[in-house]
Chain A
């Protein structure tokens, strides 16, 4: 089943075009990895999907045009995990996750909201941090809390912007495993902008390669990732190891100018 349908989506910052006539479908129980070089429009696309930015074109959430939905309705459908976050308010981890209930509550916090927060904190093994100040956590811990907050929104689609940047190897795997398990268990979808092609290939059911604001190629990482693509998109000569379940990329050297050769 299709969760999000994007058709002819364009976005410009003043006169500079960032996204150009983009078409994409996001399906149920699927992790979609958005890859591409710096400045190719990954983060902008995520922000357009969540309507933090207002693009041109059509964006359907479960068949409904996003423009006709209120911010609150969008927040119940999409959970957004920003790349990093510091809060100007001191807030505990519990309060930060509780904020994910914002689309469902006004002032009063209901018993069911507290149950939900406790459940998610427990699920992500954050219980020892629950009463700690969010701003005092390490990068990996913060990332988990932000994911917890987004899950607390009970969204159909999770958007993650570089969820593994600033994280060590263990935390990278931990965070991505959480996302993958959530997608499979709850039948939701996830779209993540991610730089590391190997992690993208390993955890993405599908990859979309962005180049200069358009989708250059999309599909199963096994068939998608090859030497030519990496050379054209990144300007890097690489070795693609195909013996494993998913392709593994070993970058060898950068070429002068993108697409050289």
Chain B
């Protein structure tokens, strides 16, 4: 009798210890996410001080808070105009675009079980590039006026993902078919863009090249709201499917046996990830690297559990893009570099550093 009781106690202790260890393990991930949010807030404040009009961090925060709490904070007309009218929408665009690209990349890598999956390797970015080129060189597009380039980029990137889906569907929706179809589509659109560049006039070609480098310089509050709205609509589904994406990582058969409707989940996640990507890059141009590398950097820190990987990737993406844009704006001031160039210049060394000093397999 005594023995049974002491054994039960031992077991209870072991189980309690296990749960405690696990909650610490989860706690570290939550801490990383909280830390990233604080870094973004701080970085946004610093980014808003950068530029030809000299504003201090305090003035910037006062100008921001004065909008929400006018009874407590009083700002000057000058700083409010600079912050709200010129800088803040670009900063928020950087945050939202970084989040969108990174979460789309993380979701694609997860559901396709491929570390190289990103809007670039799946043809989405090159299709957007083609859409934009078509608008710039030929003046042809789906919508006219201000939204000619944007509309084209958006429609073509979705067209690319539907084509990838269609081709893959023909052979079965597996990671391999989707990636191969994506790569084929990528080359096709790149070739068509090259053709347009070949026949285009030099100013047009220059504009195409500039568009494809990616920049936050074209942002406005209206565009920020559109990108935010698309991201906010798509995000919950991807987060809700975190367990399914985790299960698919162990193989389609295992995922099925755990109750996941594998093909449907893969297709819907892919569509949402493509939609976010399309919504971002049609406004910013093709900003590379964030979608590919932000998830990898995050994975090295928080591990492969998509419940934490997806939101944490989004935050890391925001930090990377906002940081890169801030440096791109200041490093050669008054010349502002396209952020697409800066993301790789900054991100690659950081990524290689993490990659070389990693101690265990992260993929």
Chain A residues close to B by CB (< 8 Å): 47, 50-52, 70-72, 74-76, 78-80, 82, 85, 87-92, 94-96, 99-100, 102-103, 105-107, 114-115, 117-119, 121-122, 127, 130-131, 133, 135-136, 153
Contact = CB atoms under 8 A, between A and B. Distances in A.
A100 B249 CA distance: 14
Contact of B254 (A74, A80, A95, A105): A80
Contact of A114 (B22, B247, B254, B361): B22
24 contacts: A52-B253, A52-B256, A76-B259, A80-B257, A85-B250, A85-B254, A88-B250, A89-B246, A89-B249, A90-B361, A91-B249, A91-B250, A91-B305, A94-B18, A94-B21, A105-B243, A107-B240, A114-B19, A118-B15, A118-B18, A122-B11, A130-B22, A131-B22, A136-B361
B260 A71 contact: yes
A106 B16 CA distance: 24
Given A50-B257, A88-B114, A121-B18, 8 more contacts: A50-B256, A80-B257, A88-B113, A88-B304, A89-B250, A107-B242, A115-B15, A153-B258
B259 A75 contact: yes
B304 A87 contact: yes
A185 B151 CA distance: 63
Nearest to B240: A107
A88 B259 CA distance: 19
Contacts, number: 124
A27 B247 CA distance: 29
Given A89-B249, A90-B299, A95 B260 contact: no
A78 B257 contact: yes
Interface residues of B, number: 41
A71 B216 CA distance: 44
B360 interface: yes
Contacts of A122: 11, 14-15, 18
A139 to B, nearest CB: 16
B329 to A, nearest CB: 36
Given A91-B246, A99-B258, A114-B22, A133 B361 contact: yes
Nearest to B264: A71
Contacts of A133: 360-361
A102 B21 contact: no
Nearest to B241: A107
A95 B258 CA distance: 14
A118 B259 contact: no
A135 B243 contact: no
Interface in B1-53: 11, 14-19, 21-22, 25
A79 B259 CA distance: 10
B21 A89 contact: no
Given A102-B243, A122-B11, A72 B19 contact: no
Nearest to A102: B258
Given A85-B254, A136-B361, A127 B305 contact: no
Contacts of B266: none
B297 to A, nearest CB: 14
B33 to A, nearest CB: 15
B363 interface: yes
Q: Closest 10 A-B residue pairs measured CB to CB?
A: A89-B304, A75-B259, A80-B257, A89-B249, A118-B15, A103-B259, A72-B259, A88-B113, A118-B18, A90-B304
B251 interface: yes
B87 interface: no
B102 to A, nearest CB: 17
B225 interface: no
Contact of A99 (B15, B25, B246, B261): B246
A79 B257 contact: yes
B307 interface: yes
B265 to A, nearest CB: 10
Contacts of B70: none
Contacts of B208: none
B362 interface: yes
